[in-house]
Structure 1
Amino acid sequence: MSIFKGAAVAIITPFQENGEINYPKLAEILDDQIANHTDAIVICGTTGESSTLTHEEHLEAIRFTIEHVAGRVPVIAGTGSNCTETAIYLSTEAEKYGADALLIVTPYYNKATQKGLIAHYTAIAESVNLPIIMYNVPSRTGCNILPETAAHLVKNVKNIVGIKEASGNISQVAKLMRLTDGQIELYSGNDDQVVPILSLGGLGVISVLSNVAPRQTHDMVMKFLEGDVAGSREIQLKALPLVDALFCEVNPIPVKAAMNMLGWEAGPLRMPLTEMEPEHKEKLKKAMIDFGIEVK
């Protein structure tokens, strides 16, 4: 049984003006996501500004989310690190809190060889009983999980079951699906490649777009899985200008701005991220309106 099918939101972390996590606002956002058919919650991913959370904040955000969601949809905890021991610590704590699965990004900055990736993921997987989704995003980490490596891990480590593919390399994804005979839970990590990934056997997307368009992102996936490929493709193509605007500056700068435009009081970003440039904000606002999102 797969961890989820459909659209999981890579959810933002709302902050108060003093920089502390705004837990009441996070609760409101979680409830709204679930009400609008989001299929799973990913907490403390890149979009959640995990890299600037302390370990204590990181774990408290995970604990709070699991407790508040209360089993309504799966909660996937982002517990990756470029330090294997840190990733093990975060992962074991998330398991204690009741996470449904873990999202583990590749080591960043120090990176790793393919042998090192196998050792890193195996060590983390052996420390927990939870299913693990590997997160491949070489544009941010400088580290690419090759198809042969991902296939080896899925075939040899029982609780490494999936991959969030954000390499942007569709040929690489196709090779992975061939090497695993499709026996891997494949999720798109790029909102502009949801339909192409689904066509290769993907189960859904872990999405930035879902923060501002949860129902449409869910529908994009479910229409495809239910056989309405044309309907799914229509949503994908219509969403492209908005997806482009959501990534015209480094994520999560634009999506945080978008959530504030929607009245969510998502608060500021933590440095070194800074507020969105005015001309980019206007582009984002227009794209949201064109996609049918009511901006306050």
Structure 2
Amino acid sequence: MADLQAAKEKLRGSIAPIITPFKEDGSIDYSKFEQLIDWHIHSGTHAISVTGTTGEPSSLTVEERVEVMKTASKTIDNRVPFVPGTGSTNHEETMYLTKKAEEIGADAALVIVPYYNKPSQHALYKHFKRVAESVDLPIIIYNIPGRTATNLHVETLAKLSKDCPNIIGVKESNKDFEHVNRVLLNCGRDFLLYSGIELLCYPMLAIGGAGHISATANVVPSKVAEIYDAWKEGDVKRAQDLHYDLMPLNDVLFKDTNPAPLKAALGMMGRIEPVLRLPMDVPTKEIQDEIRNVLRDYVDLPDEVTAK
């Protein structure tokens, strides 16, 4: 069994959920992908995640997801922890991808609540238990009811954490702050609780959270990482100031479905081609104008972008 206590100690802070960059023809731009990972590590990001919601996994084939994981692992090269998203609406596919993550050498797997099919709590328990038991790898469950149409109940999560020792944490993209409080009450204070809601990144640290997996880290990785660093250092005012400073950016980056605004912003910054695969697409011109206007306050944009 993996050293779960060591995993719990190192899997803290800002785990950046990296986008999957595409070329104009829709193929994966692995060169840009590697550059993004290097930029994040140099910017202070504490760990890297790929092929989660922000990485457009439903737009990738299974083979592409495996290749993205392999590329990320090789690029990271053990400089920071690696936590790929391996979940799917298909149970066997989830099992396959989670085992691949283990083979590649991931530090943990982020496994989403299955989307679209709306399983019962009993079925969710069976699903996650079987996935956890199939690998010698720490598992972080990903609860995002706004995208899956199913909320993993605290009672179900608590039973899983008790029955499956390698289920060590949960990413809660859950706006119900009472729910996330009860996660630590019922699963134990050493259970890793991550915020997947941008406006709850700082508040979750205050109740004992382990960090955050924030889409906004794609655009300003150093600032999102600094929230955790400031909190860890006991500088509450700095953490609060960063929390409020990032709110306008957080708001505009969710004017359209994630990761469309992120890709538009990164395109404006010259880091990627702002391409998504259908049925996803870039935001409207009006939303892109809003993103550009807000983005100017956070990053230096190329002259041709600033002039627009």
Normalised TM-score (structure 1): 0.97
Amino acid aligned to 1:243: N
Answer yes or no: is the 8 Å Cα contact 1:13–1:266 preserved in 2: no
Render the CA deviation track for 1:156-194: whole Å, top value 9, x for unaligned.
101100000111110001111111231310100011111
> d(CA) in 2 for partners of 1:212 and 1:81?
26
Q: Structure 1 residue 115 and structure 2 residue 146: aligned?
A: no
Residue 116 of structure 1: how far off its partner (Å)? 0.9
Q: Structure 1 residue 293 and structure 2 residue 299: aligned?
A: yes
Residue among 1, 5, 9 paired with 2:16: 9
Answer yes or no: is the 8 Å Cα contact 2:263–2:272 preserved in 1: no
> d(CA) in 1 for partners of 2:212 and 2:142?
12
2:155 corresponding residue in structure 1? 148
In structure 1, the residue corresponding to 2:296 is in which secondary structure? helix
Amino acid aligned to 1:207: S
> d(CA) in 1 for partners of 2:233 and 2:178?
25
Q: Structure 1 residue 274 and structure 2 residue 281: aligned?
A: yes
Unaligned runs of 5+ in 1: none
> d(CA) in 2 for partners of 1:244 and 1:262?
18
Q: Structure 1 residue 99 and structure 2 residue 106: aligned?
A: yes
Residue among 275, 284, 295 paired with 2:291: 284
Residue 251 of structure 1: how far off its partner (Å)? 0.2
- Aligned 1:155-234 pairs, distance under 5 A: 155-234=162-241
Amino acid aligned to 1:295: L
Residue 239 of structure 1: how far off its partner (Å)? 0.5
Amino acid aligned to 1:180: C
> d(CA) in 2 for partners of 1:74 and 1:233?
26
> d(CA) in 2 for partners of 1:203 and 1:227?
15
Residue 16 of structure 1: how far off its partner (Å)? 0.9
Amino acid aligned to 2:179: Q
Answer yes or no: is the 8 Å Cα contact 1:25–1:266 preserved in 2: no
% identical aligned pairs: 38
Amino acid aligned to 1:116: A
2:68 corresponding residue in structure 1? 61
Render the CA deviation track for 1:219-269: whole Å, top value 9, x for unaligned.
011111221111101101110110010101000000010110110123410
Amino acid aligned to 1:46: T
Normalised TM-score (structure 2): 0.94
In structure 1, the residue corresponding to 2:135 is in which secondary structure? coil
> d(CA) in 1 for partners of 2:236 and 2:267?
33
Unaligned runs of 5+ in 2: 1-5, 303-308
1:32 corresponding residue in structure 2? 39
> d(CA) in 2 for partners of 1:229 and 1:252?
30
**Matched residue pairs, number?**
295
- Runs of 4+ with >2 A deviation: none
Answer yes or no: is the 8 Å Cα contact 2:24–2:273 preserved in 1: no
1:263 corresponding residue in structure 2? 270
Answer yes or no: is the 8 Å Cα contact 2:266–2:274 preserved in 1: no
| RMSD across aligned positions (CA) | 1.0
In structure 2, the residue corresponding to 1:77 is in which secondary structure? coil
> d(CA) in 1 for partners of 2:245 and 2:132?
39
